[in-house]
Amino acid sequence: MSSRPAAGGGRWVEVEPARVARWTEGFAERHGPPTTTVLGYGLLLTAPDGATAELHTPPGARPAPDLPGFVGAAAAPRRIGLLLARKGAVAVGVAEGLDLVVSKVDTRYVQGRTAAGGWSQQRFARRRDNQAKAALGDAAELAVRLLLPEVSTLAALVCGGDRRAVETVLADRRLAPLAALRAGRLLDVPEPRHAVLVAAVSAARAVHILVR
């Protein structure tokens, strides 16, 4: 479980699906038995002392009308597509529950930044941009080859890395069916590697809870 401050107050908590039931029990023990309201994002728990917990339905899980249903849906196995992209690297995969059943990582050299005043700074910048575009082009091809054939079996597509890089990849017209499955969640990941892709499976399935 991880926690971070939330804009506007409160904090975001990320909870493994298998631990959500115990987390809500602890919330009730601390603040009193809550009432449950179904909202567009998932469930709102409102405790007698005024504390609230927004339980956001994780990507690909079905909406639920009550807390037991939410817990069951969050923990249920489902196929999720993963697309992690930064300028010089991409990782794609398909997770079946917690298992990564399809995976591929591709890294392409993109020249780093140099201090201003070097030889032909504009030429250097153009070269770097061209390298980045080529890398993202390769990333789109990888997604077409590995993810597009799986699209009919996926409950959601979860992306991570650099938002602009991800959107550039998904702008490829061939990937429109995949882009339609994209979840709102963007995973904060370092440069994609296989270990990063494996860790992204749990992050994609985690239940996000806003506590105030």
Please, where in the chain does CATH 3.30.420.60 lie? 80-204
CATH 1.25.40.10 fits 80-204, yes or no: no
pLDDT: which is higher, 135 or 101: 101
pLDDT of residue 43: 98
pLDDT of residue 135: 53
pLDDT of residue 148: 94
pLDDT of residue 121: 58
pTM (two decimals)? 0.84
C-alpha to C-alpha distances, 206 to 2, 102, 123, 142, nearest whole angstrom: 10, 20, 44, 26
pLDDT of residue 136: 63
pLDDT of residue 53: 98
Phi–psi pair at 186, nearest 5 degrees: -120, 115
The distance between the two most distant Cα atoms of the chain, rounded to a whole number of Å, is 67
CA 98 to CA 104: how far, in whole Å? 17
Mean pLDDT of the chain: 88
Q: What is the pLDDT of residues 64-100, one digit of tens each?
A: 999 999 999 999 999 999 999 987 789 999 999 999 9
